[in-house]
Amino acid sequence: MNNHLTLVCGAGGFIGAHLVRRLKAMGRRVRGVDLKLPPFAPSAADEFVQGDLRDPDLAARVVAGSRVVYQLAADMGGAGFVFTGDHDAEIMHNSSQINLNVLEACRRAGVGQIFYSSSACVYPRHNQHDPAAPTTAEDSVCPADPDSDYGWEKLFSERLYFAYARNHGLRVRVARLHNVFGPEGSWNDGREKAPAALCRKVAAAPVGGSIEIWGDGEQTRSFLAIDECLEGVQRFMASDFCGPLNIGSAEMVSIDQLARMIMEIADKPLTIEHIPGPLGVRGRTSDNRLIRARLGWAPSRPLREGLAATYGWIATQVAAAGDAL
Ligand code: NAD
């Protein structure tokens, strides 16, 4: 059993809470830190520090004694949070400060390895106009033009991690995650993403009713189930490649197709109404050539499988919320 201390920053969040559970299943001793406790289930961490990583003293305190650090804490959300422009200053300020503090604390403490969760949102708009053929090869990121300030912050922080690797010898692993979804993620707090929002809408709609979709529904994306995301993260951590590396699914669907898949899972045919709303790029999927070459592996499980588990969980939440009214 590997009993060194592993720190998960953002352990109260969706991916962080699942990651803590996985690390515990691997026999690790885990300390979690977050502003908040996980909202849907108690944390599996051995220790959980509720605190603000924008505070450099707190960052130093939680990093102390850790051999491996996963840095997932960020001010983040779906299109309704990231693409309206209303949160740009807080996103850039908060997330950069977290990364500056955590990384500097890791340098001072001599942490052995640090994972950073960057995002597909770093890729430039000009390569994602065609919903049928977007480009997200890792080396296509420059000339940079992410579609949100969230993406710009991720790009800045990626460079920060690589600069610390070059100048201070830190062993970093920078992953660009693509639309991760699953049970126990945001579903109704304004930070939910398309799969959770659509599962909620389908679960809440009356039989024979309708759901609203932002835009014309032709915009494309790929979605990665949480279990496969964590599998990719562990394989990446065990590799000798520092990244940046896409961790995403290559099963691209339009948002209308996603909605229809959820209706089929729910066995509930509904009408789709397209309404104006905040949108990202026209098309995006994960280019998995590099992950296949570097790790000899890439996500391959069908989207429908992860969606079925997520729909089941969200339908239960919707029913419970309805009972509480
Ligand atoms: P999340 O919002 O559920 O988790 C982020 C956590 O960070 C939250 O629990 C939040 O409370 C915490 N946090 C924010 N500010 C903090 C602070 N000042 N101090 C301490 N904790 C703070 O998001 P997630 O979906 O779990 O994403 C985790 C990471 O992966 C993020 O960095 C995100 O940008 C990245 N990512 C996620 C996806 C995705 O589809 N979920 C895609 C690409 C990248």
What mean pLDDT is predicted for residues 111-123?
97
Atom of ligand 1 nearest to the CA of 15: 26
End-to-end CA distance of the chain: 47
Q: What is the chain's mean pLDDT, rounded?
A: 96
pLDDT for the residue numbered 155: 98
Q: What percent of the chain has pLDDT over 70?
A: 99
Q: Tens of pLDDT along 211-264?
A: 999 999 999 999 999 999 999 999 999 999 999 999 999 999 999 999 999 999
**Three-class SS string for 40-61?**
CCCCCCCEEEECCCCCHHHHHH
What mean pLDDT is predicted for residues 138-157?
97
Please say if 150 is a catalytic residue: yes
Residue 155, both tokens:
């790009």
Q: Give the CATH fold of the 2-180+224-247 domain.
A: Rossmann fold (3.40.50)
Q: Specify whether the CB–CB gap between 198 and 211 falls below 8 A.
A: yes
- Nearest residue to 201 via CA among 189, 184, 213: 213
Q: How many Å apart are CA 290 and CA 288, to the nearest integer? A: 6
Residues with a CB atom less than 6 Å from ligand 1: 10, 12-16, 34-36, 52-54, 72-76, 94, 98, 117, 119, 177, 179-180
What mean pLDDT is predicted for residues 306-312?
98
* φ, ψ (nearest 5 deg) of residue 282: -70, -40
pLDDT for 1 beyond 60: no
Q: What percent of the chain has pLDDT over 90?
A: 91
Q: Residue 288: which pLDDT band, with cuts at 50, 70 and 90?
A: very high
pLDDT for 129 beyond 80: yes
- Nearest residue to 179 via CA among 121, 123, 93, 236: 121
Give yes or no on whether 2-180+224-247 and 183-222+251-281+302-324 have one common fold: no
pLDDT for the residue numbered 3: 73
Q: Please name the helix (run of DSSP H) or strand (run of DSSP E) that holds residue 159, with its range, or none.
A: helix 149-168
pLDDT for the residue numbered 267: 97
What mean pLDDT is predicted for residues 97-114?
98
Which residue is catalytic, options 150, 161, 164, 311?
150
Q: Tens of pLDDT along 67-103?
A: 999 999 999 887 788 888 899 999 999 999 999 999 9
pLDDT for the residue numbered 262: 98
pLDDT for 9 beyond 80: yes
pLDDT for the residue numbered 84: 87
Find the 189 Cα to ligand 1 centroid distance in Å: 14
Q: Tens of pLDDT along 34-58?
A: 999 999 999 999 999 999 999 999 9
List the domain boundaries for the chain.
2-180+224-247, 183-222+251-281+302-324
pLDDT for the residue numbered 307: 98
Is the bond preceding 244 in cis, omega lying within 30 degrees of 0?
Answer: yes
Q: Residue 194: which pLDDT band, with cuts at 50, 70 and 90?
A: very high
Find the 73 Cα to ligand 1 centroid distance in Å: 5
- What CATH code would you report for 183-222+251-281+302-324? 3.90.25.10
Find the 225 Cα to ligand 1 centroid distance in Å: 16
